[in-house]
Amino acid sequence: MPAFKDKLSTEEILEVAAYIFQKAEKDWSNLEKEG
């Protein structure tokens, strides 16, 4: 993963946050199904 620039734009931060949130949500639902 490339190093972050000095500052990310708000849009970029929101995109990354949304991506992480979606991934975490999928991981949690998978764990609940398996458990």
Per-residue pLDDT tens over the stretch 1-35: 566 666 778 999 999 999 999 999 999 999 888 87
pTM of the shown model:
0.58
- Tell me the CA distances in angstroms from 33 to 3, 4, 20, 23, 30, one per residue in order: 36, 35, 20, 16, 5
- The Cα 29–Cα 22 span in angstroms is 11
**Structure tokens of 32?**
């609940």
SS3 for 3?
coil
E strand or H helix at 24 = helix 10-34
CA 23, CA 27: separation in Å to the nearest integer?
Answer: 6
